[in-house]
Structure 1
Amino acid sequence: MCFDGIITGLHLTNMGLVGAIDIDALAQIRGLRTISLMNNNFSGPMPQFNKLGVLKALLLTGNSFSGEIPADFFSHLNSLKKVWLNENKFTGNIPKSLGQLTHLIELHLENNQFNGPIPNFTQPISSLDFSNNKLEGEIPGILAKYNATAFSGNDGLCGPPLEKACSGRGAQMALSGNSLNDENANNTKLIVGGVIATMIVVLLYALLSSKNGREDEFSQLGKEHVGEVVEVDVRSSHKRAGNYSNSEHSNRRSGGAASASASSSSSHHGKSGSMTDLVMVNEEKGSFGMADLMKAAAEVLGNGGLGSAYKAVMTTGLSVAVKRMREMNRMGRDGFDAEMRRFGRLRHKNILTPLAYHYRREEKLLVSEYISKGSLLYVLHGDRGSSHAELNWPTRLKIIQGIARGLGFLYSEFSSYDLPHGNLKSSNVLLTDDHDPILSDYAFQPLMNPANAVQAMFAFKTPDFLQYQRVSNKTDVYCLGIIILEILTGKFPSQYLTNGKGGIDAVQWVMSAHGDVDQEMELLDPEIAASTVAVNHMLQLLHVGAACVESNPQQRIDMREAIRRIDEVQV
């Protein structure tokens, strides 16, 4: 992930990576703020990430790291906001230094083998989970307000929010355990004093050097794992782009985007539909096969709820986006082929039409044109360069109206579907160089098993499903409303986050100001509100957004009415 030409995030998830992590090499990336190595095969003791003192997020979920973490490991990582160590094999006490991180907002340690007491924390944490470890003693009072599930699976824990009351021994254990942590920390400091001194020199050097770079202004790194909207050029001589195969691969940038989804047998162009080939469904950009895709220079774009994404540049110069999806198993091969060919026939200025697909029972590849400007999510929240500066009021209105027209087309083409889109959010709205919006990841619900759809699609994060246990055409209207409010306020909606922690609750914020013009004007992004001649039009659109996010679907306007009212708004 890059910002203003500086690498700020390293997101290498779901790639089957193994081996040693070169911390010294990472220390040379002076703007590095986020490391995500989730769902790989790394093992062994915790790497010395504490040499990277300016990290804001350390995400190691789903590996096999093991052993004890020194009590003072996090002492020099004062900028950390997110620590995800869950789904590993860590043992020993939870490092006491975690409790001293003043900026920490997310802590996930579940499904490890940590033992002993939970350390004291200096301030509340938005999202935490200690479940399924071997922790003991009384839960610190500052954590008593959290849900009991965050502490479940630890038979030795007691005190609120658990129903199990603490005996005198439980409380004493918590106190003595923290004292023991202090003693262990002191011993550790004596043993590794020389190493710490060396680390301090490295950290000072990194801090001094970083003054020449700009601070990462995109505080939403990690939300939705928005690496899917920023390019990363990952060079590797041993791993392919994605966990398609364990075979060795040399001298290719991240490997071919299709790598081992094809077997070692050669693949043929286009239309045969063999198990090792691509099936072309739209030849407007030319015809190509799996062999062409395997030879392409590939870059990891990141992960979203539906799977991994890559950029591939063909030898012909054509750039495509390849999505690798594991959850589309509801239909057999013939049904899936029919849906893909239907998608391939779609033609609309605001709709991303796929070019080709590859079918295997366990996973699918969906190939489409690569849109270089990236997603609305990134341009609005992550880019503080020229692209963001271009988001004036006329441009924002153009984007909203283009999204509405794209939805109108989908609602015509997929009128029989409960969810003609189903996954509408700003990360699935791509922008052309002229800021024309292009909708992606639409109409996938029939391809997915219900349980997978609930986990992966934004429609199932709305009040329609959470409160009423059903989705309908009006669910997409709610999602459209979130995007309208997001664009007008310039704020990242908390609705995009699984736990709702972080960002701004756009719906509550707008509803609280409803009917008070002065308060409504304060909701508008200052970068567009300065255009006083257009404020009335902005408020007109704000009211459309508010009507779209009415929590009760029966009281919410339908898509046709939403589109009509959006089209009425003038610059």
Structure 2
Amino acid sequence: MAIHFLLSPPFLILLFFILLFLFPEIIRAYMTDSDALLRIKKSLNDPQSLDSWKIGTKPCDQVIPWAGLVCTNGLVINIHLRSMSLSGHLDFTALSQMPGLRIISIENNSFSGPIPEFNKLGSLKALYLSMNQYSGEIPAGYFSEMTSLKKIWFDGNRFSGKIPSSIGELPNLVELHLEDNQFSGKIPAIGQRSLESVNLSYNNLTGEVPPGLARFDAASFEGNPGLCGAKFGTVCGDPIPKKPKPNEKPSKSTRIEYALMAVSLLILMLMIIGIFVLMKKKKKKDKSERNAMMGKDNLEGSVGLTICSISKPSAIPGQSSFGTGQTALITKKKAQVELMMLNNSKGRFGLADVMKAAAEVLGNGMLGSSYKAMMSNGMTVVVKRLKEMNMVDKEGFEAEMTRLGRLDHPNVLTPIACHYRKEEKLLIYEYIPSGSLVYLLHGEGEMRHSELDWHARLKIIQGIARGLGYIHSELAILELPHGNLKSSNVLMGPNYQPLIVDFGLHRMINTNHVANALAGYKAPEAIQSRQVSPKCDVYCLGIIILEVVTGKFPCQYVNSGKGGTDVVQWVRSAMHEQREGELLDPDMGAGSSRYVAEMKKALRIGAACTESDPGARLDIREAICSLENIQGGDESRIAMFPSFGDTYGDAASTISESSYKSWGGESKDGRNDSFGYHVS
């Protein structure tokens, strides 16, 4: 009976409609990033620029990745389709099935119509729609569910109606750009403390600027004739004064009022002029003091190329506001934007070449963002936009960059050019295609990771130590010569040759950002008392040594303290319990007892470099000697660093006997040293 019912036409028809209803959900549940992206491509009108998006290939392939994508751990986190001549209607069913998606960047294309349903993607952190043809009103509650959103760039479209009030409810909003649209009405209550950049210019807005936005200058609101308030020199809500009749003479009281107003205005003008003169004198004094501190006399030999940008503000996120890809040479009589060359060995180029280059986002950090730029001459560079470096003026900045550009060591990557702007600074480096040490150790490239045997790792550790030693000798004047040493700031050259970057910036970074932004401030003494010294760099070197030998990602790199392994405590506990063998990364292929012994020596050196007491911690000279001697290396390498004696003195005397013995040393006279120490 039951079988007859299951085979009856009414039941089969009902089953058909149930499956038809559930089919999209079933497909969606098994949709991969590749499937979702191919559906997005299919929804576009002319996706020729996405030819690399093909069935049978991987979006995040290490050799030939799909164009316009940024990946992390095999997941697409950023769809970056800027300036690809795209149009159509994006498939949001597909977009919603990409769990790692955090950034959508489709600026400078030909998308049109009402705003798409991006608000269904609640995990988005940045949404860039600049320079398209979107139009119509945006619903007031459009952003209500997008609580993770930090950046909104809708400029250069045709949006109309009121600015959505739900923007004011976004708790993490950092950048808001709605300029060059047709928004009208009053500005809603927007004023999050997190906001760093706002531009509502060239719309049809009216009324008073909300108090929360009053800290932004008038340029952020220009082109809105209906706005009023002190920022615009008008008072909101004032009735139009009654004009006297042509033959009507002002009364005596009116004349007195006019006279008082004139005198008041004169006094006010004199006060403003006086304040301006005093501020100018103070600024000049501060400027001379900063120049003296930063070494202004070191500017000789710098090369500048003068160019200018089109006056219209940038609408392309990922570029600074002085460059939208449109640049032109100017004469010295006009305002100048200079690119300062620090090293001509890689060829000469200008800021115009950089801004016209095809750009690819490499990553974002505490200090700014990094972009890969391929210029028309075939040269590829990395451009770093640094926003938290307002502790120095133009002369001081260029003096410091000149100092850094003169460094020359096989394990140090120096900037080849720089640019100063009050709001941000640009550092330009040679592009290193192999990526960073952190990617090599913890990235998704399993094949490359398996090739990282002990010989390669030891070479990397020794190279980092040599490069750091060179930096300490050449920048001995700095209390924190590197300041930000971590595996993501070690790039990998050919044959596992490490290249240290992002050094020597400590004094230029805003004081309220250094603790979170710089790895050197993760040393115990810096955390407890904000006391920094070259020993903080040694602590960071020790973290890298432990990271390389164990293969674990250190929690010391994570500001929140969540995630990663406390390699210092883990190694310390295991070594005291004589469980060193459990610490070694199994991917190294430790096939012989000799290699295991060398690995354990490296662990002990890393542990000695991360002593919580800086007085008991190794100094850079000892660390280099110890690492060189792991395989019976040549101690004469230390002669490359002649200024160590002046910088550290006899640092060996600062190491306690108990600390030294705890990591495997028998005595400090060199008779029996399992580290291979030889302290001269």
* Same fold, TM-score > 0.5, yes or no: yes
The yes-or-no answer on 1:2 pairing with 2:60 is yes
Q: Residue 615 of structure 2: SS of its match in structure 1?
A: helix
Does residue 60 (structure 1) correspond to residue 132 (structure 2)? The answer is no
Partner of 1:347: 408
Aligned to 2:546: 485
Instruction: Decide whether the 8 Å contact of 2:314 with 2:324 is kept in 1.
Output: no
Q: 1:411 aligns with which of 472, 480, 487?
A: 472
Amino acid at match of 1:569: I
Correspondence for 1:49 = 121
**Contact conserved, 1:377 with 1:427, CA < 8 A, in 2?**
yes
- Tell me, yes or no, if structure 1 residue 528 matches structure 2 residue 594: no
Per-residue CA deviations over 1:169-203 (Å, capped at 9, x if unaligned) read xxxxxxxxxxxxxxxxxxxxxxxxxxxxxxxxxxx
Q: Would you say the 8 A contact 1:325–1:363 is kept in 2? A: yes
Aligned length: 395
Can you list the C-alpha shifts for 1:302-328, whole angstroms capped at 9, x where unaligned?
111221111111111111000011111
1:273–1:418 distance in 2 versus 1, CA, 3 Å:
farther
The one-letter code sitting in structure 2 at the alignment partner of 1:465 is: A
SS at match of 1:503: coil
Alignment of 1:417-436 (within 5 A): 417-436=478-497
CA distance in structure 1 between the aligned counterparts of 2:330 and 2:602, rounded to whole angstroms: 50
Q: Cα offset for 1:510?
A: 0.6
Q: Cα deviation per residue 1:223-256 (whole Å; 9 max; x = unaligned)?
A: xxxxxxxxxxxxxxxxxxxxx974457xxxx98x
Q: Note the C-alpha offset of 1:493.
A: 0.8
Q: Once superposed, what is the RMSD of the aligned Cα atoms?
A: 4.1
Amino acid at match of 1:24: D
Counterpart residue type for residue 618 of structure 2: I
> Is residue 326 of structure 2 the alignment partner of residue 326 of structure 1?
no
**Alpha-carbon offset, residue 433 of structure 1:** 2.9
Compute the TM-score of the two structures, normalised by the length of structure 1. 0.61
Task: Give, in angstroms, the shift of residue 287 of structure 1.
Answer: 0.7
Counterparts of 1:22 and 1:540, CA distance in 2: 60
Give the counterpart letter for 2:125 in structure 1: L
Q: Per-residue displacement from partner, 1:489-522 (whole Å, max 9, x unpaired)?
A: 11111111111111111111111112333x2111
Mark the structure with the bigger radius of gyration.
Answer: 2
Residues 393/447 of structure 1: CA separation in 2 closer, same or farther (3 Å cut): same
Q: 1:266 aligns with which of 328, 347, 370?
A: 328
- Does the residue aligned with 1:434 lie in a helix, a strand or coil? helix
- Whether contact under 8 Å (2:489, 2:500) holds in the other structure is yes
Contact kept, 8 Å, 1:273 with 1:279, in 2: the verdict is no
- In the TM superposition, residue 293 of structure 1 has moved relative to its aligned partner by 1.3
Structure 2 counterparts to residues 254-403 of structure 1, below 5 A:
260-261=322-323, 266-267=328-329, 275-403=336-464
CA distance in 1, matches of 2:585, 2:139: 44
Q: Once the two structures are superposed, what CA deviation does each residue of 1:135-191 show, in whole Å capped at 9, x if it has no partner?
A: xxxxxxxxxxxxxxxxxxxxxxxxxxxxxxxxxxxxxxxxxxxxxxxxxxxxxxxxx
Give 2:537's aligned residue.
476
1:569: how far off?
1.3
Displacement after TM superposition at 1:532 (Å): 2.8
Residues in 2 aligned to 1:397 and 1:33: alpha-carbon distance in whole angstroms: 38
In structure 1, distance between residues paired with 2:527 and 2:89: 43
Q: What SS does the corresponding residue of 2:370 show, helix, strand or coil? A: strand
8 Å CA contact 1:262–1:290 kept in 2: the answer is: no
SS at match of 2:495: coil
Instruction: State the distance in 2 between where 1:335 and 1:510 align.
Output: 42
Match of 2:307 in 1: none
User: What is the alpha-carbon distance in structure 1 between the residues aligned to residue 334 and residue 621 of structure 2?
Assistant: 39
* Counterpart among 610, 618, 624 of residue 563 in structure 1: 624
Aligned-pair distance for 1:3?
A: 5.2
Q: C-alpha distance in 2, partners of 1:65/1:442?
A: 47
Deviation sequence 1:466-495 (CA, Å, 0-9, x none): 123211111011111111111111111111
**Identity value in percent:** 44
- Give the 3 Å change call, closer, same or farther, for CA 563–467 of structure 1 in structure 2: same
1:191-270 residue pairs with structure 2 within 5 A? 246-247=313-314, 260-261=322-323, 266-267=328-329
**SS at 1:451's partner residue?**
coil
In the other structure, the counterpart of 2:100 is 34
Deviations 1:326-378 (Å, cap 9, x if unpaired)? 11121211111111111111111111111111111111111110000001111
After superposition, the Cα gap between the structure-2 partners of 1:299 and 1:510, relative to the gap in structure 1 and judged at 3 Å, is: same
| Code of the aligned partner of 1:60 | K
Q: Which moved more, 1:316-325 or 1:4-13?
A: 4-13
Matches within 5 A, 1:46-195: 47-49=119-121, 58=123, 60=125, 67=141, 84=148
In structure 1, what is the Cα distance between the partners aligned to 2:106 and 2:528? 35
* Residue number in structure 2 paired with 1:506: 567
Whichever residue aligns with residue 328 of structure 2, its letter is: S
Q: Is the 8 A contact 2:491 2:498 kept in 1?
A: yes
CA distance in 2, matches of 1:425, 1:367: 20
1:2 is matched by which residue type in structure 2?
A: C
Equivalent residue letter for 1:353: T
* Corresponding residue SS for 1:348: coil
Judge conservation of contact 1:37–1:59 (CA < 8 Å) in 2.
yes
Give, in whole Å, the separation in 2 of the partners of 1:441 and 1:111. 28
Counterparts of 1:273 and 1:439, CA distance in 2: 38
What one-letter code is carried by the residue in structure 2 that aligns with 1:292?
D
CA distance in 1, matches of 2:60, 2:333: 40
Please report how far the alpha carbon of residue 86 of structure 1 lies from its aligned counterpart in structure 2 after TM superposition. Answer: 7.9
2:91 is matched with 24
CA distance 1:66–1:246, change in 2 (3 Å): farther
Contact kept in structure 1, 2:314 and 2:323, CA below 8 Å: no
Whether contact under 8 Å (2:490, 2:498) holds in the other structure is yes
Q: Is the 1:354–1:368 Cα contact (8 Å) retained in structure 2?
A: yes
TM-score using structure 2 length: 0.52
CA contact (8 A) 1:281 1:344 kept: yes
Query: For residues 432 and 528 of structure 1, what CA distance do their matches in structure 2 show?
Result: 20
Q: Distance in 2 between matches of 1:541 and 1:248?
A: 50
Verify the 8 A CA contact 1:485 1:506 in the aligned structure 2: yes
Give the direction of change, closer, same or farther, for the CA distance of 1:275–1:24 in structure 2 (3 Å limit): same
| Secondary structure of the structure 2 residue equivalent to 1:277 | strand
For residue 399 of structure 1, give the secondary structure of its aligned residue in structure 2: helix
Aligned equivalents of 1:553 and 1:365: distance in 2? 34
Contact kept? 2:483, 2:505, Cα under 8 Å:
yes
| Higher RCO by CA contacts (8 Å cutoff, separation 6 or greater) | 1
Cα 1:537–1:2 change in 2 (3 A) is same
